[in-house]
Amino acid sequence: MPPEEIIQRRKLSDEVRRRLLDLIESGEVPPGSALPSERELMARYQVGRPAVREAMQSLETMQLVSIRHGERARVVPLTPRSMLAQMHQTTRHLLATSPETRKHLEAARQMFETGMVRRAAEAATAVDLDRLRSVLEEMRAEVRNPARFVAADIRFHNLLAEMSGNPILQAVSEALLQWLFEFHSELVRFPGHEDVTLADHQEIYERVAERNPEGAERAMIDHLTRVNVQGRRRSRTKTWRLNGPLTERVSRKQGRKL
């Protein structure tokens, strides 16, 4: 028997959720609109209140509807940013528990940002360049203040994504940099190397200002290659500081090499 002919057994709430998703995705209940009341849904689908409430709670967990006491649930308008925000906790867990995934994130960032900066160089307007230059000057002013320097650095990269005119690129850029900052901070923070980072960003800015996609891509590759090398050095140094001396002390106490 073909799989599509097999009747699948589902919980009532799962079936209610599926039908509510159909209402939302078909546009029958557009973003910002209220869904039918609990009583209306109970009558429409011939189910009890628990099935309707469980379905609604599931949609709320998916951040597709908002529920307020005493009001009908409303469909949440989705954006690329809110879509990626739904992945944040799961991504945090994955990056926190998988060093291999953090390496993949580093590689993904390089592929993403090189393509993104090409698009920025192609699409940049005079207003865009003024804003990018302003952020660059902010980095220059904060070169001796690491926290503010990093914040301006992240804004510089996010602004390049915004210049592409693609809201998905902008949302992905923000998410990538947030994940790197939280779980791979050695790739975005370089105490003592701010002058080098500033020079890299100056080069990127100049190539974008020239509307030179190939030059902008080369400048970004050079920057990220330097970032990755420095990051790996810092990571190894941190590991040695955490493990090396302690291992030596334990070895001496135990009278053997570990």
Dihedral-angle region of residue 99 (phi above 0 means left; psi in -120 to 50 means alpha; beta otherwise): alpha
Kindly tell me if the per-residue pLDDT of 13 is higher than 60: yes
pLDDT of amino acid 247: 41
Encoded amino acid at 126, one letter: A
Residue 91, phi then psi, degrees to nearest 5: -65, -40
Confidence band for 242, pLDDT divided at 50, 70 and 90: very low
Kindly tell me if the per-residue pLDDT of 258 is higher than 70: no
The CATH 1.10.10.10 portion of the chain extends over: 3-77
Considering the domain 84-253, what is its CATH architecture?
Up-down Bundle (1.20)
Mean residue pLDDT across the chain: 84
The CATH 1.20.120.530 portion of the chain extends over: 84-253
Cα separation, 183 vs 95, in Å, equals 7
Residue 233, phi then psi, degrees to nearest 5: -65, -45
| Rg from Cα positions in the chain | 25
Query: Does domain 3-77 correspond to CATH entry 1.10.10.10?
Result: yes
What is the DSSP annotation of 222-243? Answer: HHHHHHHHHHHHHHHHHHHHHH
> 188 with 180: CB under 8 angstroms?
yes
**Which carries the bigger pLDDT value, residue 248 or residue 83?**
83
Encoded amino acid at 181, one letter: F
Residues 6+ apart with CB under 8 A from 83: 171
- In tens, the pLDDT along 206-234 reads 999 999 999 999 999 999 998 877 766 65
- In tens, the pLDDT along 14-51 reads 999 999 999 999 999 999 999 999 999 999 999 999 99
pTM above 0.85, yes or no: no
Confidence band for 251, pLDDT divided at 50, 70 and 90: very low
> 53 with 72: CB under 8 angstroms?
no
Report percent pLDDT > 70 for the chain: 82
Residues 6+ apart with CB under 8 A from 143: 149, 194, 195, 198
- In tens, the pLDDT along 122-177 reads 999 999 999 999 999 999 999 989 889 989 999 999 999 999 889 999 999 999 88
